[in-house]
Amino acid sequence: MRRAAAAGIATAAAALANMLPSVGAHAASPSQDYALNCMGCHGTEAQGIPGKVPPLANALSRFMRTSEGRNYVLRVPGAANSALSDEQLAAVLNWLAVTYDSSAASSQPAPFTSNEVAALRRRPLLSVLATRSAVVHNLATTGPSPPSQY
Protein backbone atom coordinates (compact mmCIF):
# COMPACT_ATOMS: atom_id res chain seq x y z
CA MET A 1 0.00 0.00 0.00
CA ARG A 2 2.73 2.40 0.98
CA ARG A 3 4.92 1.50 -1.97
CA ALA A 4 2.13 2.01 -4.48
CA ALA A 5 1.30 5.36 -2.92
CA ALA A 6 4.96 6.32 -3.04
CA ALA A 7 5.13 5.58 -6.74
CA GLY A 8 2.06 7.73 -7.38
CA ILE A 9 3.51 10.50 -5.25
CA ALA A 10 6.82 10.42 -7.06
CA THR A 11 4.98 10.88 -10.36
CA ALA A 12 3.08 13.81 -8.94
CA ALA A 13 6.33 15.29 -7.67
CA ALA A 14 7.79 15.10 -11.16
CA ALA A 15 4.67 16.78 -12.51
CA LEU A 16 5.08 19.60 -10.00
CA ALA A 17 8.73 20.02 -10.88
CA ASN A 18 7.78 20.44 -14.53
CA MET A 19 5.40 23.23 -13.63
CA LEU A 20 8.14 25.37 -12.16
CA PRO A 21 10.36 27.54 -14.35
CA SER A 22 13.65 25.80 -14.81
CA VAL A 23 16.07 26.36 -11.99
CA GLY A 24 19.84 26.28 -12.38
CA ALA A 25 21.50 22.92 -11.95
CA HIS A 26 23.21 23.95 -8.73
CA ALA A 27 20.28 25.72 -7.08
CA ALA A 28 18.70 24.16 -4.04
CA SER A 29 15.03 23.32 -4.16
CA PRO A 30 12.62 26.20 -3.56
CA SER A 31 11.48 24.68 -0.29
CA GLN A 32 15.05 24.62 0.99
CA ASP A 33 15.68 28.18 -0.22
CA TYR A 34 12.51 29.19 1.63
CA ALA A 35 13.67 27.43 4.78
CA LEU A 36 17.11 28.99 4.72
CA ASN A 37 16.17 32.53 3.71
CA CYS A 38 12.56 33.32 4.56
CA MET A 39 10.97 30.81 6.87
CA GLY A 40 12.70 32.07 9.99
CA CYS A 41 10.42 35.11 9.93
CA HIS A 42 7.53 34.14 7.66
CA GLY A 43 6.96 30.86 9.48
CA THR A 44 6.82 27.14 8.80
CA GLU A 45 3.35 27.51 7.31
CA ALA A 46 4.08 30.89 5.68
CA GLN A 47 1.63 32.28 8.22
CA GLY A 48 3.63 35.34 9.32
CA ILE A 49 3.11 36.97 12.72
CA PRO A 50 0.18 39.31 13.33
CA GLY A 51 1.44 42.85 13.57
CA LYS A 52 5.03 41.96 12.80
CA VAL A 53 5.51 39.76 9.72
CA PRO A 54 3.11 39.56 6.77
CA PRO A 55 1.60 36.18 5.90
CA LEU A 56 2.42 34.59 2.56
CA ALA A 57 -0.17 31.83 2.83
CA ASN A 58 -3.40 32.79 1.09
CA ALA A 59 -1.83 36.13 0.31
CA LEU A 60 1.10 35.81 -2.07
CA SER A 61 -0.83 34.14 -4.87
CA ARG A 62 -3.50 36.80 -4.63
CA PHE A 63 -0.95 39.56 -5.12
CA MET A 64 0.24 37.71 -8.21
CA ARG A 65 -3.10 38.20 -9.95
CA THR A 66 -2.37 41.74 -11.16
CA SER A 67 0.73 43.44 -12.48
CA GLU A 68 0.50 45.98 -9.66
CA GLY A 69 0.42 43.18 -7.12
CA ARG A 70 3.32 41.35 -8.78
CA ASN A 71 5.29 44.60 -8.79
CA TYR A 72 4.70 44.94 -5.05
CA VAL A 73 5.75 41.38 -4.25
CA LEU A 74 9.05 41.67 -6.10
CA ARG A 75 10.00 44.94 -4.43
CA VAL A 76 9.32 44.17 -0.77
CA PRO A 77 12.51 44.12 1.33
CA GLY A 78 12.68 40.35 1.59
CA ALA A 79 12.66 40.03 -2.18
CA ALA A 80 14.43 43.16 -3.35
CA ASN A 81 17.50 42.88 -1.13
CA SER A 82 17.63 39.11 -0.78
CA ALA A 83 20.81 37.36 -1.86
CA LEU A 84 18.76 34.81 -3.79
CA SER A 85 19.35 35.00 -7.53
CA ASP A 86 16.52 36.09 -9.79
CA GLU A 87 15.97 32.44 -10.74
CA GLN A 88 15.94 31.25 -7.15
CA LEU A 89 13.61 34.02 -6.05
CA ALA A 90 11.17 33.22 -8.85
CA ALA A 91 11.25 29.55 -7.89
CA VAL A 92 10.64 30.24 -4.19
CA LEU A 93 7.73 32.59 -4.86
CA ASN A 94 6.14 30.18 -7.32
CA TRP A 95 6.52 27.29 -4.90
CA LEU A 96 4.96 29.34 -2.10
CA ALA A 97 2.06 30.39 -4.30
CA VAL A 98 1.22 26.79 -5.12
CA THR A 99 1.92 25.22 -1.75
CA TYR A 100 0.33 27.68 0.61
CA ASP A 101 -2.87 28.68 -1.08
CA SER A 102 -6.20 26.98 -0.58
CA SER A 103 -7.90 28.28 -3.70
CA ALA A 104 -8.69 25.89 -6.55
CA ALA A 105 -5.96 24.80 -8.93
CA SER A 106 -7.71 26.44 -11.88
CA SER A 107 -7.24 29.93 -10.45
CA GLN A 108 -3.50 29.67 -9.84
CA PRO A 109 -1.74 32.77 -11.12
CA ALA A 110 0.92 32.72 -13.81
CA PRO A 111 4.27 31.81 -12.29
CA PHE A 112 7.03 34.40 -12.07
CA THR A 113 9.84 34.09 -14.58
CA SER A 114 13.38 35.10 -13.71
CA ASN A 115 13.20 37.86 -16.35
CA GLU A 116 10.21 39.37 -14.63
CA VAL A 117 11.99 39.19 -11.29
CA ALA A 118 15.14 40.77 -12.68
CA ALA A 119 13.21 43.64 -14.22
CA LEU A 120 11.45 44.68 -11.04
CA ARG A 121 13.32 43.72 -7.90
CA ARG A 122 16.17 46.22 -8.14
CA ARG A 123 13.98 49.13 -6.95
CA PRO A 124 12.97 48.43 -3.35
CA LEU A 125 9.78 50.05 -2.16
CA LEU A 126 10.12 53.27 -0.19
CA SER A 127 7.04 52.77 1.91
CA VAL A 128 5.99 49.18 2.16
CA LEU A 129 2.85 49.53 4.24
CA ALA A 130 1.38 52.39 2.25
CA THR A 131 2.02 50.60 -1.03
CA ARG A 132 0.56 47.38 0.31
CA SER A 133 -2.56 49.15 1.40
CA ALA A 134 -3.10 50.72 -2.00
CA VAL A 135 -2.41 47.49 -3.89
CA VAL A 136 -4.73 45.45 -1.69
CA HIS A 137 -7.47 48.02 -2.09
CA ASN A 138 -7.30 47.62 -5.86
CA LEU A 139 -7.10 43.84 -5.71
CA ALA A 140 -10.21 43.67 -3.55
CA THR A 141 -12.26 45.05 -6.43
CA THR A 142 -11.44 42.13 -8.71
CA GLY A 143 -11.45 39.04 -6.49
CA PRO A 144 -10.05 37.60 -3.27
CA SER A 145 -7.45 39.92 -1.82
CA PRO A 146 -4.68 39.46 0.67
CA PRO A 147 -5.06 41.08 4.07
CA SER A 148 -4.34 44.81 3.97
CA GLN A 149 -2.95 44.96 7.47
CA TYR A 150 -1.00 42.34 9.28
Partner 1 sequence: MTKHWPGVTLVILGAGIASSWAAAPAKPQPPPLPAEHLTVATVGPKSPHWVYVVDYAYNNEIDSRVWLFDGDTHRRIGQIDTGFIPGINISPDGRTTAVATTYFARGGHGTRTDVVEFNDNNTLAKTGEIVIPPKHAQTLAMLFTIGYSSDGKFVYVPYLTPAASFGVLDPARKQVLGEIDTAGCTLVFPWGPNRVSSICESGRLLTVTLDARGKEGSRTTSEPFFNVDEDPVFAQAIPLPDGYAYLSFLGQLHEIDFTQPKPTPRAAWSLVSAAEKGTWRPGGVQVGALHRTQQKLFVPMHRGGDGSHKDGGTEIWVFDLKSHQRTARWPIDTRVTGAAVAVQVSQDPAPLLFVATDKAHLLVLDAQTGKLQHDEKNLGQTPQLLLNP
Partner 2 sequence: MKNLDRLVENSARSLAKRTSRRSLLASLGQLLTGAALLPLLPIDRTARAQEPARPSAAEQKCEYWKYCAIDGFLCACCGGTSTSCPPGTQSSPITWIGTCHNPADGRDYIVSYNDCCGKVSCGDCFCDRNEGEKPMYRLSRNNDVNWCMANSESNYHCSVSVILGVAEK
Binding footprint of partner 2 on the chain (CB under 8 A):
2, 6, 8-16, 28-29, 31-32, 35-41, 43-45, 49, 52-53, 57-58, 83, 98-102, 104-105
Q: Is 43 left (phi over 0), alpha (psi -120 to 50) or beta?
A: left
Q: What three-state secondary structure class fits 49?
A: strand
Q: With contacts defined by CB under 8 A, how many residues of the chain interact with partner 1?
A: 14
Nearer to partner 1 by C-beta: 20 or 53?
Answer: 53
Q: Where are the alpha helices (DSSP H) in 1-144?
A: 2-19, 30-37, 39-42, 60-63, 67-75, 77-80, 86-99, 114-120, 128-139
142 binds, among partner 2, partner 1, none (CB under 5 to 8 A by kind): none
Radius of gyration of the chain measured on its C-alpha atoms: 16
Contact code string over 31-60 relative to partner 1, x by CB under 8 A: ----------x----------xx-------
CA 126/CA 77 separation, integer angstroms: 10
Any contact of residue 125 with partner 1 (CB under 8 A)?
yes
Question: Are 146 and 136 within 8 A, CB to CB?
Answer: yes
Any contact of residue 126 with partner 1 (CB under 8 A)?
yes
44 binds, among partner 2, partner 1, none (CB under 5 to 8 A by kind): partner 2
Tell me which residues touch partner 1 (CB under 8 A).
41, 52-53, 77-78, 80-83, 124-128
